[in-house]
Structure 1
Amino acid sequence: MVKCPICGPKLSICCSLLSMWGIVMLGLLGVFYKIHSVALFEDIPLTAEKWKKENYTMSIIYEKYDQTAYNCFIAAGIYILCFIFSCCQQRMNSKASYEMS
């Protein structure tokens, strides 16, 4: 007996594709934050006042880069879980349609 799928076949395929894109994009973004890419400097959560309070040290900037990289890796992990769920839904839909035929 096949369990009832939650998502339909088209939605599960769409969610799989979006999850794959999220995994790739956030994985690469996390890598670029981890290597302290200068192009992403404006996107780190650091204000001028806080940097001035820390006496303009580079260690606070590197800490913020690493924090943002970990956030990207965590979000990519969540997308991996969504991808696994979508693949399970695709398999359930294909088994359900196969048994009805």
Structure 2
Amino acid sequence: MMRRVTTTAGSLAAAGALVLGMAPSASAAHGDLFNSTWRVTNPSGCVAVPLESNSFHVYNQTNEYALAYQNNNCTGPVIDVIPPGGQAPGGAIAVLGRAAWIN
């Protein structure tokens, strides 16, 4: 009887570990990062942002903060922080902005 309980408990533990190991990682923001000419759904990492009318507009309808960088490879200074569900103050980031990083 004790062996059966031990075997059952071991099988349940192994099944639980298998299910937890298959859980998807939460590596991308949920929602959209966009302006009027492009859209990225569930963005993750560095997103190059094309200029729009000589301005750098980014709307962040995700659940994460987006950091706006001066260079298109997410290097140089952070020039703005775009909150989740919002936009940069005034609707545009500095004209020099070229990329956004989002987790």
TM-score normalized by structure 2? 0.29
Using structure 1 for the length normalisation, give the TM-score.
Answer: 0.29
Greater C-alpha radius of gyration: 2
Which structure dedicates a bigger proportion of its chain to helix?
1
